[in-house]
Amino acid sequence: MPDKDAGTPRVFLYRHGQTEWSQNGKYTGKTELPLLPEGRKQVLASGKLIVGHGKLIDPTKLAHVFISPRERAKETFDLAFADDDKETLEKEGKVTETEKIAEWGYGDYEGMLTHEIKALRKERGLDKEKGWDIWRDGCEGGESAQEVTDRLDSLIEDIHSFQAANMHGEKACDIVLVAHGHSLRAFVKRWLKYPMDFSLQMMLEPGGVGVLSYAHHNVNEPAVMVGIGFPYE
């Protein structure tokens, strides 16, 4: 049976490797933290398996790589891609650092744990009817759910500009996003056209990669690729 979705463009979600705060569960927005040795190993392992010529993420088939400006994301890109591939992509203008895919701006909650945030909000007289939900309530002094929605929607428009005319593989135009746990999961919600407060439980391990695409070769039918077929000769 032929693959009815063969050639459809994909969007790869590449989460940065483990940092001290991500390991401890602390909310890390703009704070610059390096990858832990374990985090570097996570990225090197996934990169070795799936990034490279003839592999799942083939640099020669990429239209663009969007990277969060945070150092942990840039380090992840640097580790995952071979030097010559990075040089070629950058020379061709296919690499962009952008706040559009930066981590959620946590504001007053930067560096805190979830239970600490809930306790702080209780002290401030918040959440009397419902417990804090970042997808609905956002962050004091940081970003609201609508602000995150707006910048992610803008990035999705950028991605569509590369992919909309190539739904049947007319031109290789895969996209890679190198970013963070919250922003990438938020991106999935907006990709699927769900409101940010839509209940959709997702997991993305440090150094892990997720994949999005389109159903029926239709840019108006965004989809999650639940199972991935790997290249073969």
CA-CA distance, 228 to 50, in Å (whole number)?
Answer: 11
Domain annotation covers residue 232: no
The residue assigned the tokens 């706040």 is 99
Domain annotation covers residue 69: yes
In the predicted model, is pLDDT for residue 232 greater than 90?
Answer: no
Q: How confident is the model at residue 2 (pLDDT cuts 50, 70, 90)?
A: very low
Containing domain of residue 138, as a range? 11-224
Consult the annotation and say whether 191 binds a ligand. Answer: no
In the predicted model, is pLDDT for residue 233 greater than 80?
Answer: no
Q: How confident is the model at residue 230 (pLDDT cuts 50, 70, 90)?
A: confident
Structure tokens, 52: 């490279």
User: What sign has the CA pseudo-torsion 89, 204, 54, 47?
Assistant: positive
Domain annotation covers residue 66: yes
Q: How confident is the model at residue 8 (pLDDT cuts 50, 70, 90)?
A: very high
In the predicted model, is pLDDT for residue 72 greater than 90?
Answer: yes
- Alpha-carbon Rg for the chain, nearest whole angstrom, is 18
In the predicted model, is pLDDT for residue 87 greater than 50?
Answer: yes
Consult the annotation and say whether 8 binds a ligand. Answer: no
pLDDT at res. 93: 97
Mean pLDDT over 56-62 rounds to 96
The conformation of residue 23, written as its DSSP 8-state character, comes to: H
Consult the annotation and say whether 29 binds a ligand. Answer: yes
> What is the distance of C-alpha 15 from the center of its chain?
6
Q: Which residues pair with 209 in a beta bridge?
A: 14
What is the tens place of the pLDDT at every residue in 176-220? Answer: 999 999 999 999 999 999 999 999 999 999 999 999 999 999 999
Domain annotation covers residue 85: yes
Domain annotation covers residue 233: no
In the predicted model, is pLDDT for residue 5 greater than 90?
Answer: no
pLDDT at res. 4: 53
Domain annotation covers residue 22: yes
Contacts for 205 with CB less than 8 Å, ≥ 6 apart: 15, 42
In the predicted model, is pLDDT for residue 6 greater than 90?
Answer: no
Consult the annotation and say whether 14 binds a ligand. Answer: no
Structure tokens, 181: 């746990």
94: number of Cβ within 10 Å: 17
Mean pLDDT over 9-20 rounds to 97
Q: How confident is the model at residue 134 (pLDDT cuts 50, 70, 90)?
A: very high
Helix-strand-coil split of the chain, %, nearest 5: 40, 15, 45
Domain annotation covers residue 4: no
In the predicted model, is pLDDT for residue 97 greater than 70?
Answer: yes
CATH of the domain at 216: 3.40.50.1240
The catalytic residues are 16, 103
The number of folded domains in the chain is 1
Mean pLDDT of the chain: 95
Enumerate the H helices of 138-206 as residue ranges.
145-163, 181-191
In the predicted model, is pLDDT for residue 1 greater than 60?
Answer: no
Consult the annotation and say whether 21 binds a ligand. Answer: no
Domain annotation covers residue 177: yes
pTM metric for this prediction: 0.95
